[in-house]
Amino acid sequence: MSTAPAGFTANLVHADRRGGVMHGGVRKPVHTSVQYGFERVEDLIDVFQGKVKGVHVYTRQSSPTVAALEAKINQMEGGVGTICFATGMAAVTAVFFSLLKAGDHLVCSHFVFGNTNSLCGTLTGLGVQVTRVDPTDAAAVAAAMQPNTRMVFVESLANPGTQIPDFEGIAAICQAHAALFVVDNTVTSPWLFQPGTVGADLVINALSKSIAGHGVAMGGSVTDTGRFDWRGYPHIFAPYRQGDPAQWGLTQVRRKGLRDMGGAMMGQAAHDVATGAETLALRVDHSSATALALAQMLEAHPAVARVCYPGLPSHPQHARAQALFKAGAWLLSFELRDAAQTNAVINRLQLAIPATGLADTRTLVIPVAPTIFWEAGPEVRARMDIADGLVRVSVGLEDAADLLADFSQALQGA
Ligand SMILES: *Cc1c(COP(=O)(O)O)cnc(C)c1O
């Protein structure tokens, strides 16, 4: 069977066959077994003593269906290894809690997923100091660095404000400090952008979003891009400082962050995410084109005060998006001139659904201040530039003309 390099989607849809076929099936079966048996007990002992690698012993640590998905995510992100988790938050948690210790300092973007922001509060309680910065400006990151800074965490395209970090600037700062540069690539996805190409050390994807794309399965992943020198990282436990140093970090994330913390993905979810991933490029191209058209229509509308979308020339990081991303992605947010009309406009939508969540096949709309950023409080909302009337739109797969017509009619009279 040919293993010749091909395009993004060709590689993805043929990955299962290239990994070995059972019964001629062109897709991998779903392995549901939690336990794995061995011919002889000596084989089992060898696995525990590290003499045999790459076999599965218990599904909380690894399984064949999840391993097949890990290989696909790794191929898409161009990494040296990938680990999958039950959810995106399990992946974020594993990175923070397996690689940081009390006394460390984390520099985190102001503009991160609400639950990641909440998790930073938990870290603070456990003795990790957290400094929030505006990552669109590398100078702000440089000013926040301390001798004990171990990690800088950003999102490639922030939700809901669509801010884009100065990746290259931050990567250079991290390299000078031997700090890990972690990028959550969920909104752009590896089809629009591969953070490893601009210096990210670890890349996180919430697979529940762009990569699955159908809104019927959850998952998360951590990919090591192979850029970081783990030999200089003081927190790698002795048993994991063995073999290829490029794998030390991921070995620790798998043992401490997956095996011990327990946020394991099950085979059926891995299969569902992998099925969704096959259409990633097609879906994201389509929804990004629709999002651009919707953003342009909203920006020109007299009832709309502001639109945040990286594909618009008015976006502060428009040039960065043009240079680094294949398209502006499927996420936008907007504010009405009369914020008091926000709920009425959303209620008039016929196609777009008032709902939480992102990257479904259906367009989802939510006013963020009274919902997903309510618990965060007014201070965090002000820092994140989230006005009371800000509406987030996660553009789905509907025909662009239908979606634009829906928003047009909903805005009438606003
Ligand atoms: C949704 C999301 C997460 C968390 O993913 P879950 O699968 O919902 O746990 C993390 N980061 C970003 C940017 C997200 O949008």
Task: Give the DSSP per-residue string, 275-299.
Answer: HHHTTHHHHHHHHHHHHHHHHHHHH
For a mutational test of ligand 1's pocket, the pick from 95, 157, 186, i.e. the residue with the most ligand atoms closer than 8 A to its C-beta, is 186
pLDDT at residue number 54: 85
Distance 402 CA to ligand 1 centre (A): 28
State pTM to two decimals.
Answer: 0.96
pLDDT value at 313 more than 80: yes
Residues 132 and 167 in one domain: yes
Residues 253 and 319 in one domain: no
CATH of the domain at 372: 3.90.1150.10
The average pLDDT across 33-37 equals: 94
Q: Whose CA is nearest to atom 2 of ligand 1?
A: 206
Residues 244 and 348 in one domain: no
Mean pLDDT of the chain: 95
Which range of residues forms the domain containing residue 212?
79-269
Distance 156 CA to ligand 1 centre (A): 13
pLDDT at residue number 4: 60
The average pLDDT across 266-293 equals: 98
pLDDT value at 8 more than 80: yes
Q: How far apart are CA 149 and CA 133, in angstroms?
A: 13
Distance 85 CA to ligand 1 centre (A): 12
Is 51 part of a structural domain of the chain? Answer: no
Residues 262 and 145 in one domain: yes
pLDDT value at 292 more than 50: yes
pLDDT value at 77 more than 50: yes
Is 290 part of a structural domain of the chain? Answer: yes
pLDDT at residue number 165: 98
For a mutational test of ligand 1's pocket, the pick from 156, 209, 331, 392, i.e. the residue with the most ligand atoms closer than 8 A to its C-beta, is 209
Q: What is the pLDDT of residues 213-264, one digit of tens each?
A: 999 999 999 999 999 999 999 999 999 999 999 999 999 999 999 999 999 9
pLDDT at residue number 1: 39
Residues 92 and 161 in one domain: yes
Inter-CA distances, 201 with 21, 93, 110, 137, 193, Å? 33, 17, 20, 19, 14
Residues 210 and 247 in one domain: yes
For a mutational test of ligand 1's pocket, the pick from 115, 182, 205, i.e. the residue with the most ligand atoms closer than 8 A to its C-beta, is 115
Residues 231 and 377 in one domain: no
Domains of the chain: total: 2
pLDDT value at 21 more than 50: yes
Strand partners of residue 184? 155, 204
Q: What are phi and psi of 121, to 5 degrees?
A: -65, -40
pLDDT at residue number 53: 84
Q: What is the pLDDT of residues 98-132, one digit of tens each?
A: 999 999 999 999 999 999 999 999 999 999 999 99
pLDDT at residue number 149: 98
Q: What is the pLDDT of residues 346-357, one digit of tens each?
A: 999 999 999 999
Write the CB contacts of 405 (distance below 8 Å, at least 6 apart in sequence): none
By C-alpha distance, which of 158, 10, 29, 20 is closest to 76?
Answer: 10
By C-alpha distance, which of 297, 393, 293, 295 is closest to 342?
Answer: 393
Atom of ligand 1 nearest to the CA of 155: 13
Q: What is the pLDDT of residues 166-199, one digit of tens each?
A: 999 999 999 999 999 999 999 999 999 999 999 9
Q: What is the pLDDT of residues 83-92, one digit of tens each?
A: 999 999 999 9
Atom of ligand 1 nearest to the CA of 209: 1
Is 401 part of a structural domain of the chain? Answer: yes
Q: What is the pLDDT of residues 368-413, one digit of tens each?
A: 999 999 998 999 899 888 999 999 999 999 999 999 999 999 999 8
Is 141 part of a structural domain of the chain? Answer: yes
Residues 108 and 253 in one domain: yes
For a mutational test of ligand 1's pocket, the pick from 84, 85, 89, i.e. the residue with the most ligand atoms closer than 8 A to its C-beta, is 89
Asked if 43 contacts 56 with a C-beta cutoff of 8 angstroms, the reply is no
Residues 391 and 303 in one domain: yes
CATH of the domain at 257: 3.40.640.10
Domain end call among 245, 269, 293: 269
The average pLDDT across 333-348 equals: 96
Distance 179 CA to ligand 1 centre (A): 23
Is 119 part of a structural domain of the chain? Answer: yes
Token pair in block for residue 236: 């790698």
Q: Whose CA is nearest to atom 1 of ligand 1?
A: 206
Residues 260 and 309 in one domain: no
Pocket (CB within 6 angstroms of ligand 1): 87-89, 92, 113, 116, 155, 159, 184, 186-187, 206, 208-209, 218, 220, 358
Residues 114 and 257 in one domain: yes
Is 124 part of a structural domain of the chain? Answer: yes
Atom of ligand 1 nearest to the CA of 218: 7
**Percentage, residues of the chain above pLDDT 90:** 90
Q: How far apart are CA 377 and CA 238, in angstroms?
A: 42
Asked if 338 contacts 394 with a C-beta cutoff of 8 angstroms, the reply is no
Is 57 part of a structural domain of the chain? Answer: no
Q: For 4-8, 212-216, 283-287, 400-404, which range has the lowest pLDDT when averaged over its residues? A: 4-8
Q: How far apart are CA 92 and CA 119, in angstroms?
A: 9
Is 29 part of a structural domain of the chain? Answer: no
Q: CA torsion sign, 382 to 385 to 386 to 388?
A: positive
Distance 97 CA to ligand 1 centre (A): 17
By C-alpha distance, which of 209, 204, 203 is closest to 228?
Answer: 203
Domain end call among 269, 288, 319: 269
Atom of ligand 1 nearest to the CA of 89: 9
Q: Using the structure block, give the residue that is written with the tokens 């499927």.
A: 330
Domain end call among 241, 269, 297: 269
pLDDT at residue number 80: 98
Residues 261 and 239 in one domain: yes
Distance 59 CA to ligand 1 centre (A): 23
